[in-house]
Every structure is written in structure tokens, then in C-alpha cells.
């Protein structure tokens, strides 16, 4: 069986890692051993932080929606509950954008949510008054 010459592939592999490590400080960008370790850590951080970025944006959107909803006299959870009851299906990203860029449109949506909440409350009260309380046996 002929022997395998690995020079080209090994050099290509090392060059790839060193290219990924461009801009790192000191030996982390110069030597393969240090660069390899730092690139591995960097990829782990990048993966972790892509997930964290989604969480951070969701938190930001909720904060913005909450602030705008409170201007309309609703808390965040009341607002979201009202949206569900009004069958308005807008995601948090769109709602937050509306709250910041178009407060008038957000106010209309909040009014619809508030009306749906009040309607649901009235229906709930009517249902309770119709149903007689049962005596414990």
C-alpha cells in the first residue's frame, strides 16, 4: 500500500484556522496551536450568543410593548390577552416596531384589545349570573 503524503492537506487545514484567527491578539493569530484553541472557543461563543441574541431581542420587544400598552391603560399581559381574544395575530417584533414608529396604529390595536377584554369580562359575568350556585352535598 502506498504511503500518503499529507503536506498539502495539512497546510491547507492550518491555513484555514489561521485565516479564521486573523485579528486576534498576539500568538492567537500567529501560531497554529494557539489559534486553533481560540478559534474553537470563538465558534462556541458565536453559537451561544446567536441564541442569546434572540432572547435579548424578545426581551427588548416585550419592554417596548409593555411601555406602549401602559400608555393606553393596559399592562403587557392584559394587552396580549386582549389581542388573543380579539383574534389579532401580530408577533412581538411587529408590535414593538408599531409602538416605536407608529403610536397611533398601536393605539388602535390597543383599543381593539381593550374592547375584546371588556367583552370577554361581560360574557364571563353573564355566564356566572345565569349559573346558580350548587349546594355542597
Taking residues 38-58, what's their average pLDDT? 97
User: In terms of domains, do 90 and 45 share one?
Assistant: no
| Residue 133 in this model has a pLDDT that exceeds 70 | no
Q: Residue 42 belongs to what domain range?
A: 11-52
User: In terms of domains, do 39 and 66 share one?
Assistant: no
User: In terms of domains, do 58 and 116 share one?
Assistant: yes
Closest CA to 93 of 60, 70, 61: 61
Cα–Cα distances in angstroms (integers) from residue 22 to residues 13, 25, 39, 129, in the given order: 15, 9, 10, 73
User: In terms of domains, do 68 and 116 share one?
Assistant: yes
Q: Pull the grid cell for residue 114.
A: 381593550
The separation between the first and the last C-alpha atoms of the chain, rounded to the nearest angstrom, is 90
User: In terms of domains, do 48 and 58 share one?
Assistant: no
Q: Is residue 125 part of a domain?
A: no
Residue 73 in 3-state DSSP?
Answer: coil
User: Is-above-0.85 flag for pTM?
Assistant: no
User: In terms of domains, do 24 and 39 share one?
Assistant: yes
For the chain, give the mean pLDDT.
Answer: 93
Segment 102-123, tens digit of pLDDT: 999 999 999 999 999 999 888 8
Taking residues 40-63, what's their average pLDDT? 97
| Residue 134 in this model has a pLDDT that exceeds 80 | no
User: In terms of domains, do 86 and 33 share one?
Assistant: no
CA distance 124 to 119: 9
Q: Is residue 75 part of a domain?
A: yes
For residue 55, the model assigns a pLDDT of 97
Share of residues in the chain with pLDDT > 90 (%): 82
User: In terms of domains, do 47 and 63 share one?
Assistant: no
Q: Is residue 137 part of a domain?
A: no
How many distinct structural domains can be found in the chain?
A: 2
User: In terms of domains, do 40 and 93 share one?
Assistant: no
Q: Is residue 105 part of a domain?
A: yes
Amino acid at each position: 500500500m502506498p504511503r500518503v503524503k499529507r503536506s498539502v492537506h495539512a497546510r491547507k487545514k492550518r491555513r484555514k484556522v489561521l485565516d479564521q484567527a486573523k485579528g486576534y491578539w498576539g500568538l492567537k493569530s500567529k501560531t497554529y496551536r494557539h489559534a486553533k484553541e481560540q478559534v474553537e472557543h470563538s465558534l462556541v461563543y458565536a453559537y451561544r450568543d446567536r441564541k442569546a441574541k434572540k432572547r435579548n431581542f424578545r426581551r427588548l420587544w416585550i419592554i417596548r410593548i409593555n411601555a406602549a400598552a401602559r400608555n393606553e391603560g393596559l399592562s403587557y399581559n392584559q394587552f396580549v390577552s386582549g389581542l388573543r381574544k380579539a383574534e389579532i395575530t401580530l408577533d412581538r417584533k411587529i408590535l414593538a416596531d408599531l409602538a416605536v414608529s407608529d403610536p397611533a396604529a398601536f393605539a388602535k390595536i390597543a383599543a381593539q384589545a381593550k374592547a375584546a377584554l371588556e367583552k370577554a369580562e361581560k360574557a364571563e359575568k353573564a355566564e356566572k349570573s345565569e349559573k346558580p350556585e350548587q349546594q355542597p352535598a
